Amino acid sequence: MSTMTSSTTSGTHSAASLPTLDAAETLRYSRHLLLDEVGIEGQRRIKNARVLLIGAGGLGSPTALYLAAAGVGTLGLVDFDVVDATNLHRQILHGTTDVGRSKIDSARDRIHSVNPHVHLEAFDTRFDSANALEILRDFDIVVDGTDNFATRYLTNDAAVLLGKPNAFGCIFRFEGQASVFGAPDGPCYRCLFRDPPPAGLVPNCAEAGVLGVLPGLVGTIQAIETLKLILGIGDSLVGRLLLIETLGMNFRSITVRRDPTCPSCGDPAFGGGSIRSLDDRADDYAEATCGVAKSTVESSAAAIRDITAVQLAERISRGDDFDLIDVREPAEWEIARIEGARLVPLATVRQASESWDRAREVVLFCKAGVRSMNAAHQLVESGFTRVTNVLGGITSWTNDVDPSLRRY
Amino acid sequence: MAITVTLPAVLARLADGNKELSADGVTVGEVIDALSVRYPPLAARIRDDAGKPYPFVVYYLNDEDIRLGNGFASSVIDGDEVTLVPAIAGG
């Protein structure tokens, strides 16, 4: 277990060079100033801090709101997305009237209302390997609040290359993980999970659901870790992965050690540290977890046929002979279904298909096309010769064929 | 040897919803083999086709990462606990 000393970010500025607090700020932060561990000097360190938040979504909402309220002088915020109605049950940075606005615009208004002393540097763009280093370079700490593996590996590698600590959090259904990666002598995300899973193997929140309050809990932990790094107080989560399980309400932390062979932060003397630039692992940063997995579609083009929802509708009305299989979960089936489809959730496809006719055409769909592509791979591997995947899944079907279906 | 295996929700769904399972074996690998036979959908998510651990699932024996020991060949004794920690990405 590591103890973060004040050297990480706070020690680089002598007290004399820190910005001062005016009367309004002194009043606003009075409950911080009363804490011996913060005090006036600590609050000035918070004001001097530059924190970059990747993502203004579930995790980015509480981190942005609390770090703004706490008086972080400069908050950077990167997000390319637009507020959607399905965001509102957890993304408390955005309100009902913000649906359709860019998340950056919505966040700017909200952060300004929480604390006008905060300077917001907004990046209304996708955080990618072309801009990651340029954006992150001017910040002290990065807070990983993204929703996909590609951006998480990118954030990790960029943070390690630039020597910036990463207050990490992630969520799934009722569970979360939090840590601080990339601190001096601490492990990074790749020390724990060397490589990302292939597209489609691990469902994302859009497919599997998430308890709305959960990112509030995990994001708040990220915000606390960020303040601890700024202030150089307490025992940070460097070297520990906090496992949060909210149904049983159990918290547990496990030790994560720095791996000298880690491709990101490892030591070349031990075969590590092979990632010298963001060009070295470009495949890991390819957007593949949301919507249609492009790389998967390309690599399987030979064995799996893709059709659009409109083409599926034409084939159904023509009376083509095939089995239409819905690989979503029962709860999704309850919300919306395509007439004539049979429900076989992804996890059960391999077993269920053992009794199917391998020469018969199977047309697969899910919500957005990723899980069905995964199922298609499994069927091809098991010897099915006529496997078809519906691009964009029932979401495209609802958009392009039957708008009467409920969206989710 | 009865070993307790703890699964997070994302994996428990593939094991009939069980978050805590008991399985026999004298190594971590044997315990995982036993579970993989019992729950085929789980098997595909916790190890590769060659039976090796994936780089995105970490196995803890009691509180120690098995990669610091002998990996799947790490011996287990009655009462040991194996915890699976998969990478998750939601945010």
**CA–CA distance, A3 with A23 (Å, rounded to integer):** 34
Q: Give Rg (Cα) of chain B.
A: 12
Q: Is the pLDDT of residue A352 over 90?
A: yes
Give every CB contact of residue A11 below 8 A, 6+ residues apart in sequence. A5, A232
CB–CB of B65 and A256 under 8 A? Answer: yes
Least confident segment among A114-123, A197-206, A273-282: A197-206
Q: Is the pLDDT of residue A1 over 80?
A: no
CB–CB of B91 and A59 under 8 A? Answer: yes
State pLDDT tens for residues A209-225.
Answer: 899 999 999 999 999 99
**Count of other CB atoms within 10 angstroms of residue A47:** 22
Residue with tokens 């020690």: A11
**CA–CA distance, A174 with A152 (Å, rounded to integer):** 20
| Nearest-Cα residue of chain B relative to residue A219 | B91
Q: Which of A79, A202, A354 to mutate to test the interface with B (most CBs of B within 10 A)?
A: A202
Least confident segment among A12-26, A163-177, A334-348, B51-65: A12-26
Q: Is the pLDDT of residue A94 over 50?
A: yes
pLDDT of residue A294: 42
Cβ-based contacts of A174 with chain B (< 8 Å): 9
**Judged by CB atoms within 8 Å, which residues 146-175 of A form the interface with B?**
146-149, 152, 169-175
Q: Is the pLDDT of residue A381 over 60?
A: yes
pLDDT band at residue A287 under the 50/70/90 scheme: low
Residue bearing the bigger pLDDT, A153 or A202: A153
Cβ-based contacts of A270 with chain B (< 8 Å): none
CB–CB of A59 and B56 under 8 A? Answer: no
| Nearest-Cα residue of chain B relative to residue A374 | B44
Q: Is the pLDDT of residue A119 over 70?
A: yes
CB–CB of A172 and B13 under 8 A? Answer: no
Segment A152-169 mean pLDDT:
98
| Nearest-Cα residue of chain B relative to residue A61 | B91
Which residues of A participate in catalysis according to the annotation? 205, 366
Measure B57 CA to nearest chain A CA, in Å. Answer: 7
Identify which of A248, A364, A205 has the alpha carbon closest to the alpha carbon of residue A296: A364
Q: Is B70 helix (H, G, I), strand (E, B) or coil?
A: coil
Residue bearing the bigger pLDDT, B44 or A343: A343
Cβ-based contacts of A152 with chain B (< 8 Å): 89
Question: Average pLDDT, whole number, for chain A?
Answer: 91
Does the beta carbon of A210 lie under 8 angstroms from any beta carbon of chain B?
yes
CB–CB of A172 and B14 under 8 A? Answer: no
Give every CB contact of residue B82 below 8 A, 6+ residues apart in sequence. B3, B4, B5, B6, B28, B31, B32, B59, B60, B61, B76
Q: Is the pLDDT of residue A100 over 70?
A: yes
Does the beta carbon of A135 lie under 8 angstroms from any beta carbon of chain B?
no
**Count of other CB atoms within 10 angstroms of residue B61:** 21
Q: Is A220 helix (H, G, I), strand (E, B) or coil?
A: helix
Q: Is the pLDDT of residue A291 over 90?
A: no
pLDDT band at residue A263 under the 50/70/90 scheme: very high
Both structure tokens of A372: 């069905």
This prediction has a pTM of 0.85
pLDDT of residue A205: 61
Residue with tokens 């606003």: A28
pLDDT of residue A198: 83
User: Which among A194, A195, A348 has CB closest to B41?
Assistant: A348
Segment A102-120 mean pLDDT:
98
**CA–CA distance, B86 with B53 (Å, rounded to integer):** 11
Give every CB contact of residue A109 below 8 A, 6+ residues apart in sequence. none
pLDDT band at residue A327 under the 50/70/90 scheme: very high
**CA–CA distance, B75 with A285 (Å, rounded to integer):** 37
pLDDT of residue A15: 82
Q: Is A326 helix (H, G, I), strand (E, B) or coil?
A: strand
| Nearest-Cα residue of chain B relative to residue A256 | B65
pLDDT of residue A199: 72
Segment A253-258 mean pLDDT:
95
Segment A292-305 mean pLDDT:
54
As to burial, measured by CB atoms within 10 angstroms (0-12 exposed, 13-18 middle, 19+ buried), residue A113 is exposed
Identify which of A286, A324, A316 has the alpha carbon closest to the alpha carbon of residue A149: A286
pLDDT of residue A203: 65
Cβ-based contacts of A254 with chain B (< 8 Å): 60, 63, 65, 83, 85
Measure B47 CA to nearest chain A CA, in Å. Answer: 11
DSSP string, A56-116: SSTTHHHHHHHHHHHT-SEEEEE---B--GGGTTT-TTS-GGGTTSBHHHHHHHHHHHH-T
Q: Is A229 helix (H, G, I), strand (E, B) or coil?
A: helix
State pLDDT tens for residues B43-87.
Answer: 989 998 899 999 999 999 998 999 999 999 999 999 999 999 999
Least confident segment among A100-109, A148-157, A291-300: A291-300
Share of chain B above pLDDT 70, in %: 99
Does the beta carbon of A196 lie under 8 angstroms from any beta carbon of chain B?
yes
CB–CB of B14 and A170 under 8 A? Answer: no
Q: Is the pLDDT of residue A345 over 70?
A: yes
Residues B42/B11, Cβ–Cβ less than 8 Å: yes
Residues A26/A34, Cβ–Cβ less than 8 Å: no
Question: Average pLDDT, whole number, for chain B?
Answer: 93
Q: Which of A142, A174, A190, A192 to mutate to test the interface with B (most CBs of B within 10 A)?
A: A192
